[in-house]
């Protein structure tokens, strides 16, 4: 019900696989919700729009999510801490939804589409201070996919490490 009162263009939803290269987003206000194989809960767009309005310094927003079983029933909430660069290098721990301020997303996409959701996270947060990345401690989406998802090549690009220096833990799937 909250979504009916959003200003035009305040919060656009884009599936991750539809992200492409450079866009004209830089001239638009608001945020884009990039969703990776998840279902947004009612009110998620409004929650991210309000976070955008209340945190003018922030460029990237994330929120908690829940895991669904094969029948679509919630089995566990995946609650996360605030921004942690070390955790982000290991995996896309913020979850399956990122809200990115449009002008910032336009800059991220100038180098072409990200190779993975983990790559998007690392590119969108590169060089940002923690106060520019806001976590909403609310469950705003659901996914059946196990999390976290990691991309060793995204870590190599983000850190400048040699590919041989980045390993994927077989148990957790996180980069180390």
DSSP the chain: -GGGGPPTTSEEEEEGGG--S--SGGG--SEEEEESS-EEPTTHHHHHHHHHHH-TT--EEEEEEEEE-TTS-EEEEE---S--HHHHHH--TT-SEEEEEHHHHHHHGGG---SSHHHHHHHHHTT--GGGEEEEEEEEEEESS-S----HHHHHHHH---GGG--B-TTT--B-
Q: Over the chain, what is the mean pLDDT? A: 85
pLDDT class of 1 with cuts at 50, 70, 90: very low
Alpha-carbon distance of 147 to 151, in angstroms, equals 12
Alpha-carbon distance of 119 to 116, in angstroms, equals 5
Global pTM value: 0.84
Residue 6 scores a pLDDT above 80: no
Closest CA to 27 of 107, 99, 122, 98: 107
How large is the average pLDDT for residues 60-81?
Answer: 88
- 29-42 per-position pLDDT tens digit: 789 999 998 999 98
The reported pLDDT for the residue numbered 147 is 56
- The residue with tokens 């955790």 is 87
Other CB atoms within 10 Å distance of the CB of residue 168: 15
Q: State in Å, rounded, how far the first CA of the chain is from the last one.
A: 42
- 93-131 per-position pLDDT tens digit: 888 999 999 999 999 999 889 999 999 999 999 999 999
The reported pLDDT for the residue numbered 136 is 94
Residue 61 scores a pLDDT above 50: yes
Strand partners, 26: none
Task: Answer yes or no: are the C-beta atoms of 30 and 100 closer than 8 Å.
Answer: no
Closest CA to 115 of 83, 150, 162, 139: 150
């Amino acid at each position: 019900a909250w979504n009916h009162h959003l200003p035009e263009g305040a919060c656009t939803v884009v599936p991750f696989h539809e992200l492409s290269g450079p866009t004209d987003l830089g001239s638009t206000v608001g945020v884009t919700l990039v969703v990776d194989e998840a279902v947004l809960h009612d009110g998620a767009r409004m929650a991210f729009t309000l976070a955008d309005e209340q945190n003018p310094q922030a460029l990237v927003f994330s929120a908690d999510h829940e895991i669904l079983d094969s029948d679509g029933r919630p089995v566990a909430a995946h609650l996360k801490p605030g921004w942690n660069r070390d955790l982000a290098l290991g995996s896309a721990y913020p979850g399956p939804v990122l809200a990115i301020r449009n002008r910032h997303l336009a800059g991220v996409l100038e180098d072409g589409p990200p190779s993975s959701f983990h790559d998007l996270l690392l590119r969108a947060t590169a060089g940002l201070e923690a106060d520019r990345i806001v976590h909403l401690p609310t469950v705003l989406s659901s996914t059946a996919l196990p999390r976290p998802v990691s991309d060793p090549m995204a870590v190599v690009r983000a850190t400048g490490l040699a590919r041989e220096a980045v390993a994927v833990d077989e148990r957790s799937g996180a980069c180390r």
